[in-house]
């Protein structure tokens, strides 16, 4: 394991540490630094960010932060937050044609609740999908750690029966993902391929960054050669170049796939890709529960750690 892999694993461990989270969340500098990655805690903040992105020719998908909910009231609150968000986006004319969609984590909607957690989360997701459809847009189901992969794919199949445009997310660091790509590379299927941002055991996932990259390319080949709609979620210039080459080899129209990047990371490159005529979608998170999200973003790209530390040094 090289130094970058060690740092990545350490950051993923920190994402679960309650005491460290409390220190960082209470630090005066944190909020101002985090604003690069999270536009704000309130609906108005994220609607404004999505509007600005749309004006630049980019699309977006919005995530209301939170996961591993074990309280029914909180799961219901998350559902209501998405319903209110979609209504606000529709009123601003941002949902037409899928310009802005939303991304859901089933664990935030109650999947981990005892007893009927899966059914509760699915019902909440179905309500959100219905509102999204009425607003003229759609939903993508975020993927979480490997213990929920099958449950998430089961929910995807259930939701697609009534809402066929619901998107899936697959994580290249899991050994199983190439086969999952084959299963989902069919007409009408929307699949976001990312590297993966959770700490997973060696029994289920590649540990070295180089092996994850190789898996990403193999999975991308499957998706580009399939009949679905690939969503290339990466900030890696080399992988983005490979994605374009694979799309060209497959004879894909630029409108038959898209690139995706996170809010606050490589914004100028995002604009460049959109300006050249390719579709670019920005993943925008918002809400109070930003700590775990931030730690995973830094783990994905350790250079982001330096940005955070520079911010701390500047403010202190």
User: So which residues are the catalytic ones?
Assistant: 142, 192
User: Which residue in this structure is represented by tokens 């679905």?
Assistant: 228
Q: Which two tokens stand for residue 223?
A: 């998706």
- List the structure tokens of 207: 């540990």
> How many CB atoms neighbour CB 90 within 10 A?
18
**Side-chain half-sphere of 281: how many Cα atoms within 13 Å?**
23
φ, ψ for residue 69 (rounded to 5)?
Answer: -70, 130
Distance CA 143, CA 122 (A): 14
Q: Output the CA–CA distances (angstroms, integers) from residue 273 to 36, 185, 232, 280, in the order listed.
A: 20, 24, 12, 7
Q: Which residues contact 119 (CB under 8 A, 6 or more apart)?
A: none
Taking the C-alpha atoms of residue 275 and residue 48, their distance in angstroms, rounded to an integer, is 21
Q: Which DSSP string corresponds to 34-49?
A: HTTT---SSHHHHHHH
């Amino acid at each position: 394991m090289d130094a970058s892999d060690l740092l990545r694993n350490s950051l993923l461990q920190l994402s679960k540490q309650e005491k460290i989270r409390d220190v960082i969340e209470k630090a005066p500098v944190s909020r101002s630094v985090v604003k690069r990655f999270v536009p704000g805690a309130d609906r108005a903040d994220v609607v404004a960010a999505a509007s600005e992105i749309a004006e630049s020719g980019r699309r977006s998908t919005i995530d209301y932060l939170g996961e591993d909910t074990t309280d029914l009231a909180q799961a219901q609150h998350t559902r209501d937050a998405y319903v209110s968000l979609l209504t606000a986006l529709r009123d601003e004319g941002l949902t037409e044609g899928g310009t802005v969609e939303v991304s859901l984590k089933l664990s935030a909607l109650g999947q981990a609740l005892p007893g009927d957690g899966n059914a509760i989360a699915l019902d909440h997701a179905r309500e959100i999908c219905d509102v999204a459809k009425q607003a003229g847009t759609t939903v993508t189901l975020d993927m979480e750690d490997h213990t929920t992969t099958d449950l998430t794919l089961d929910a995807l199949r259930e939701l697609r029966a009534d809402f066929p445009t619901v998107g899936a997310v697959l994580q290249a660091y899991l050994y199983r993902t190439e086969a999952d790509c084959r299963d989902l590379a069919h007409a009408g299927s929307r699949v976001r391929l990312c590297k993966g941002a959770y700490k997973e055991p060696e029994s289920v996932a590649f540990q070295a960054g180089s092996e994850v990259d190789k898996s990403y390319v193999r999975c991308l080949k499957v998706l580009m050669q399939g009949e679905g709609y690939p969503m290339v979620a990466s900030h890696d210039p080399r992988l983005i170049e490979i994605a374009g080459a694979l799309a060209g080899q497959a004879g894909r129209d630029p409108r038959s796939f898209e690139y995706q990047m996170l809010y606050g990371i490589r914004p100028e490159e995002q604009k460049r890709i959109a300006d050249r005529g390719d579709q670019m979608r920005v993943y925008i998170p918002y809400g109070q529960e930003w700590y775990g999200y931030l730690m995973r973003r830094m783990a994905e790209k350790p250079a982001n750690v330096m940005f955070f530390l520079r911010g701390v040094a500047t403010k202190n």
